[in-house]
Amino acid sequence: MAEQKVVKTFRIMRYNPDTDTQPSFKDYQLECSPMERVLTALNRIKWEQDGSVSYRRSCGHAVCGSCGMTIQGASRLACKTLVKDIDGDVIIVEPLKGFPVVKDLVVDMEHFFHKYRAIIPFFHSESPKPVKERLQSPEEQVHIDDPAKCILCGCCTSSCPSYWKNDDYLGPAALLKAWRFVADSRDESAAERLSAVNGENGLWRCHLIFNCMEACPKEIDIPAALSKLKRAVIWGGPR
Ligand code: SF4
């Protein structure tokens, strides 16, 4: 049986800093399959209707984290959101909330990555290098399995009311990455990292609102990780 097509209106927020004083919405009608991804629909709008629509995309498979945007009011990956996931005939697409807009759906991620760099987001050890690799037991690895899934899409930080109120707050993505390394049995920089997250705009700005968990396309339990990070700050290390 032929697949039932639906006609949807994609209401896309447009903003060109060279010509516009403020953002405005523009509607595009598209016949699509309910199983079509919003990213595919955006591609067709760009390629078939209006080449000036700007957004980021790369892998198209929820691996690179490039296509984070606000779809029907929620932070999501366009490549992981199906047309049938959105109720109604109008699909509203906006840039990630809380990030400065560069053009249309493209946001400036520099402030986001500035916070990320602040938590020392790389493995560090002064111990002598092993001949082959630094081994970790399955029991040790289980602590980093979930936080290591992060693809840095920014959806969690963009959906966090604490971040909307204070964009100097490190935000859930940077804090999750801090926990990923603090919890890593092979890493030896826990003290520096715990100090980096314990400042005025650090971990204690997290009030466990849980928006981050709903937004995360990798279904990472961010509130649980941040709660463990809080305990590690109090205890002076992971336990
Ligand atoms: Fe994206 Fe989830 Fe990583 Fe946040 S924790 S940046 S929502 S993958």
Could you tell me the pTM of the whole model? 0.94
Strand locations in 98-158 (E): 101-103, 106-107
User: Would you say 101 and 107 are in contact if contact means Cβ atoms under 8 Å apart?
Assistant: yes
Which atom number of ligand 1 is nearest to the Cα of residue 149?
Answer: 8
Residue nearest to atom 2 of ligand 1 (CA): 216
Distance of CA 107 to the CA centre of its chain: 12
User: Would you say 34 and 67 are in contact if contact means Cβ atoms under 8 Å apart?
Assistant: no
pLDDT tens digit at each of 239 positions of the chain: 677 999 999 999 999 999 999 999 999 999 999 999 999 999 999 999 999 999 999 999 999 999 999 999 999 999 999 999 999 999 999 999 999 999 999 999 999 999 999 999 999 999 999 999 999 999 999 999 999 999 999 999 999 999 999 999 999 999 999 999 999 999 999 999 999 999 999 999 999 999 999 999 999 999 999 999 999 999 988 87
What is the C-alpha to C-alpha distance for residues 33 and 30, in angstroms, rounded to an integer? 10
For the stretch 19-24, contacts whose Cβ atoms lie closer than 8 Å and that sit 24 or more positions apart, written own/partner, are: 23/101
Given this model, what pLDDT does residue 15 score? 98
Given this model, what pLDDT does residue 91 score? 98
Look at residues 146, 149, 151, 128 and name the one whose alpha carbon lies nearest to residue 60: 151
Residues in CB range of 128: below 8 A, 6 or more apart: none
Residue nearest to atom 8 of ligand 1 (CA): 150
User: Would you say 183 and 94 are in contact if contact means Cβ atoms under 8 Å apart?
Assistant: no
**CA 222 to centroid of ligand 1, rounded, Å:** 8
Select from 76, 151, 169, 209 the residue to mutate for testing ligand 1; criterion: most ligand atoms less than 8 Å from CB: 151
User: Would you say 12 and 52 are in contact if contact means Cβ atoms under 8 Å apart?
Assistant: no
Q: What's the fold here for domain 6-107?
A: Ubiquitin-like (UB roll) (3.10.20)
Beta partners for residue 37, in sequence order:
82
Which atom number of ligand 1 is nearest to the Cα of residue 172?
Answer: 4
**CA 156 to centroid of ligand 1, rounded, Å:** 5
CATH class of 110-235: mainly alpha
| Three-state SS letters, 63-79 | CCCCCEEEECCEEEEHH
pLDDT digits (tens, 9 = 90+) for 175-228: 999 999 999 999 999 999 999 999 999 999 999 999 999 999 999 999 999 999
Sign for the pseudo-dihedral over CA of 138, 142, 146, 152: negative
The single residue listed with the structure tokens 């990070």 is 229
Select from 63, 146, 216, 221 the residue to mutate for testing ligand 1; criterion: most ligand atoms less than 8 Å from CB: 216
Coil, helix or strand at residue 173? helix
Instruction: Indicate the pairing of strand 74-77 with strand 90-94.
Output: unpaired
Which atom number of ligand 1 is nearest to the Cα of residue 176?
Answer: 5
Which atom number of ligand 1 is nearest to the Cα of residue 216?
Answer: 7
Coil, helix or strand at residue 112? helix
Length of the chain: 239
What is the C-alpha to C-alpha distance for residues 39 and 83, in angstroms, rounded to an integer? 10
Segments making up each domain of the chain, as ranges: 6-107, 110-235
